Amino acid sequence: MTQNKIGFSKLTKEEKIDWIAQTYFANPTQAKNILLQYWNQNTDIQKLHDEFIENTITNFYLPLGVAPNFTINGKNYTIPFAIEESSVVAAASKAAKFWGSRGGFKTTILGTEKIGQVHFLYEGDKAKLTEYFQFVKPFLLSETEGITKNMQKRGGGISDIVLVDKTAELENYYQLHATFQTKDSMGANFINSCLEQFAKTLKDKSEDFGITSIQIVMSILSNFVPNCVVRAEVSCPVSELNEDKNIIAEEFAQKFVTAVKIAEVEPYRAVTHNKGIMNGIDAVVLATGNDFRAIEAGVHAYASKDGKYTSLSHAKIENGIFSFWLDVPLALGTVGGLTNLHPLVKFSLEMLGNPSATELMEIIAVAGLAQNFAALRSLTTSGIQQGHMKMHLNNILNQHQATKEEKQQVIAHFESKTVSHNLVVDYLESLRKK
Ligand code: MEV
């Protein structure tokens, strides 16, 4: 073990796989075969994948599904979802169809501002630092011109830089808090490059100004983007919610609104409610090559921005009209990053009509709202398990290596019965005993 700790990254891919298989697996050949079956025979794609990260030993596949029939601001879309959870794509498709015949989804961009901060310590007089900041601010902008030139040509750049006194929360702690517009790029590299230059300029010029105690701690963008927000909404007369003959529209609308209000006041419910929204959001974020960890972090921070974790979506009935909407922060890119590199990301973006970053914000927010609508509709009517377990049935059958014939028999048997893991396994075993 000890000698293998040295230089793993220097081994060839085959040597890495060998070492992993020999070191950790009872059956190294089987372990290697598991890895190899996900290896792409197309050497160009494999080379590309190998270069995305370090120490690649194979590929980790997720299904890419599509939900057609989305009408967003009058335009039709087929939305790509990269996700392993059954029911998500089916739910999205159902919600798309439902709202497609009720005016479709509408969206509004509420802001596109990105944020980054230089965190530093300063031990002197605050008035002197404030004076220094006024002096250095033009240099912060001029010394980043090399970085901002191209972004400015595209209509983006640095919007503002302010000095923030955080000493009440942490001794000697100040920030340069900067805001940016990054147009169609997510902007992480652009923002971080600007911030690192700000930090350098802030430090370099300080001694000329008689300040010697600035200590730069770090410079990094923030994934909390409360001013980079999109609203997605649907509405229709309550009477038009009457799609299913078993559902009384008024009762359904009331119950639905109550379910949303519960998520607004009860954090335990809000987390699961928002998780359902993220089922839609993450899947499209992933399919379009965006950073789902950044989105997740930002969304949940936004959900608790007023001091208590709450629902991202809201609903009301007013003058006989049911409205349901979602405000969600989404810092996305449709150029740069993986967008030009990953063939499936390129495919997904082209299928969406090569949207701008703001259009992608709109599409992704709609995917989240659609998912939330579908989940709440199930939860407040039939319950979630009926649909979930039907979709999950196939996974259970695959887990137990059911043959095609067995699958047909089991699916037919559970057509009108409640599905549970045990019941399926019991029935499968009874078939096998016959
Ligand atoms: C499951 O992935 C998502 C739900 O739990 C969401 C919700 O409860 O609203 C069904």
pLDDT (tens digit per residue) in 226-285: 999 999 999 999 999 987 777 899 999 999 999 999 999 999 999 999 999 999 999 999
- Whether residue 239 sits in one domain with residue 371: yes
Please, are residues 235 and 322 in contact by the beta-carbon 8 Å criterion? Answer: yes
134 is in which domain, residue-wise? 114-222
For a mutational test of ligand 1's pocket, the pick from 87, 272, 312, 377, i.e. the residue with the most ligand atoms closer than 8 A to its C-beta, is 272
- pLDDT single digits (tens) 190-227: 999 999 999 999 999 999 999 999 999 999 999 999 99
Q: What is the pLDDT of residue 2?
A: 47
Output the CA 61–ligand 1 centroid distance in Å: 23
Task: Show the beta-strand stretches assigned E in 17-113.
Answer: 64-72, 75-82, 106-109
- Whether residue 100 sits in one domain with residue 127: no
Residues marked active site are found at 85, 275, 291, 388
Residue 79 lies in a domain: no
Q: Whose CA is closest to 67, among 364, 277, 383, 395? A: 364
- Whether residue 339 sits in one domain with residue 262: yes
Contacts of 242 (CB under 8 A, 6+ apart): 248, 249, 252
Distance CA 316, CA 260 (A): 9
Pairing of strands 321-329, 215-222: unpaired
Output the CA 18–ligand 1 centroid distance in Å: 41
Q: Report the nearest atom of ligand 1 relative to the CA of 269.
A: 8
Annotate 186-227 with DSSP letters as a single string.
Answer: --HHHHHHHHHHHHHHHHHHHGGGT----EEEEEEEES--TT
Q: What is the pLDDT of residue 5?
A: 66
Give the 3-state secondary structure of residue 430. helix
Residues forming a β-bridge with 164: 175
Smallest CA separation from ligand 1 atom 9, residue: 273
- Whether residue 263 sits in one domain with residue 148: no
Smallest CA separation from ligand 1 atom 4, residue: 276
Smallest CA separation from ligand 1 atom 1, residue: 276
CATH code of the domain containing 213:
3.30.70.420
Q: What is the pLDDT of residue 335?
A: 96
Distance CA 315, CA 324 (A): 4
- Whether residue 276 sits in one domain with residue 133: no
CATH code of the domain containing 92:
3.90.770.10
Output the CA 375–ligand 1 centroid distance in Å: 6
Distance CA 232, CA 77 (A): 15
Q: What is the pLDDT of residue 356?
A: 98
Backbone phi, psi, residue 42, to 5°: -80, 105
> Domain boundary residue among 222, 242, 274?
222
Q: How many CA atoms lie within 13 A of 58 on its CB side?
A: 15
Output the CA 140–ligand 1 centroid distance in Å: 46
- Whether residue 145 sits in one domain with residue 102: no
Q: What is the pLDDT of residue 103?
A: 96
pTM recorded for the entire structure: 0.91
Pocket of ligand 1 (CB under 6 A): 85, 272-273, 275-276, 279, 375, 379, 384
- Whether residue 357 sits in one domain with residue 401: no
DSSP 239: G
Q: How many CA atoms lie within 13 A of 368 on its CB side?
A: 32
Residue 118 lies in a domain: yes
Residue 238 lies in a domain: yes
Smallest CA separation from ligand 1 atom 6, residue: 276
State how many domains the chain has: 4
Give the 3-state secondary structure of residue 24. helix
Task: Spell out, as residue ranges, where the chain has pLDDT lower than 50.
Answer: 1-4
